[in-house]
Amino acid sequence: MADRMRQRELLRALYDAAVARAHPSVCLPPYLPAPGPTGRVIILAAGKAAGSMAAVAVRWYADEHGLGPDRLAGLAVTRIGYAQPTRLIGMVEAGHPVPTQAGIDATRRTLDLAAGAGADDLVLVLISGGGSANWIAPAGGLDLAGKQAITRAMLRSGASIGEINTLRKRLSLIKGGRLARVAAPARLLTLAVSDVPGDDPSTIASGPTVPDPTTTADARAIVAKYGIDLPPAAAALLADPANETPKPGDPIFARADFRIVARPRDSLDAAVALARAEGYEVVDLGADLEGEARDVAARQAAMALEMAAAGRRVAILSGGELTVTIRGKGRGGPNQEFALALALALGGAPGIAALAGDTDGTDGGGGDPDDPAGAIVDETTLARAAAAGVDAAERLADNDSTGFFEAVGDLLVPGPTRTNVNDLRVLLVG
- Tens digit of each residue's pLDDT (9 = 90 or more) over 266-322: 999 999 999 999 999 999 999 999 999 999 999 999 999 999 999 999 999 999 999
Residue 288 half-sphere exposure, CB side, CA atoms within 13 Å?
Answer: 8
Percent of the chain beyond pLDDT 90?
A: 90
**Higher pLDDT pick, 393 / 364:** 393
Percent of the chain beyond pLDDT 70?
A: 100
Q: Give just the sign of the alpha carbon dihedral 291, 294, 295, 301.
A: positive
Kindly report, residue by residue over 24-55, the tens digit of the pLDDT: 999 999 999 999 999 999 999 999 999 999 99
CA–CA dist 397, 295 (Å, integer): 13
Assess contact for 93 and 85: CB atoms under 8 A: no
Kindly report, residue by residue over 338-355, the tens digit of the pLDDT: 999 999 999 999 999 999
Kindly report, residue by residue over 144-172, the tens digit of the pLDDT: 999 899 988 988 888 887 899 899 999 99
Q: Is the pLDDT of residue 211 over 90?
A: yes
CA–CA dist 27, 260 (Å, integer): 10
**CA distances, 313 to each of 296, 318, 350, 353 (Å):** 21, 17, 13, 12
pTM: 0.90
User: What is the model's pLDDT at position 396?
Assistant: 97
Q: Is the pLDDT of residue 1 over 70?
A: no
Q: Is the pLDDT of residue 206 over 70?
A: yes
Assess contact for 221 and 228: CB atoms under 8 A: no
Assess contact for 171 and 397: CB atoms under 8 A: no
Give the end-to-end CA distance of the chain in Å, rounded to a whole number. Answer: 13
User: Which residue segments constitute the domains of the chain, with CATH numbers given?
Assistant: 2-20+265-429 (3.40.1480.10), 32-262 (3.40.50.10180)
Mean pLDDT computed over 228-251:
95
Q: Cα angle vertex 369, ends 364, 372, to 5°?
A: 40
Assess contact for 192 and 128: CB atoms under 8 A: yes
Kindly report, residue by residue over 129-142, the tens digit of the pLDDT: 999 999 999 999 99
CA–CA dist 62, 65 (Å, integer): 6
SS3 labels along 144-204: HHHHHHHHHHHHHHCCCHHHHHHHHHHCECCCCCHHHHHHCCCEEEEEEECCCHHHCCCCH
